């Protein structure tokens, strides 16, 4: 699985972006809220940005599939 680039980045990015989130929270934007929640917020933010920038071509495939799944879920609930 690690031969595919997306799995390489996903394996490392979760921990890396979480730790970067801790450093941003401590150095640049110190707040008195939960440190772990802020680190997870930055983790998700950076992961999305990395995914959109680096793997933009996957959104061409994933977006139409997600729309179809969304409509099927909504129509099946109405019955």
Inter-axis angle of helices 56-78 and 35-54, nearest 10: 110
Residue 34 has pLDDT above 90, yes or no: no
Report the distance separating Cα 66 and Cα 30, nearest Å. 37
The answer to whether the beta carbons of residues 45 and 13 sit under 8 Å apart is no
N-to-C CA span, the chain: 40
The model's pTM is 0.66
pLDDT digits (tens, 9 = 90+) for 51-64: 889 888 888 888 89
């Amino acid at each position: 699985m690690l031969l595919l680039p997306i799995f390489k980045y996903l394996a490392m990015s979760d921990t890396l972006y979480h730790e970067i989130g801790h450093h941003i929270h401590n150095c640049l934007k110190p707040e008195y809220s939960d440190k772990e929640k802020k680190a997870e917020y930055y983790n998700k933010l950076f992961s999305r940005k990395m995914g959109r920038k680096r793997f933009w071509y996957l959104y061409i495939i994933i977006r139409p599939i997600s729309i179809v799944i969304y409509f099927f879920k909504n129509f099946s609930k109405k019955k």
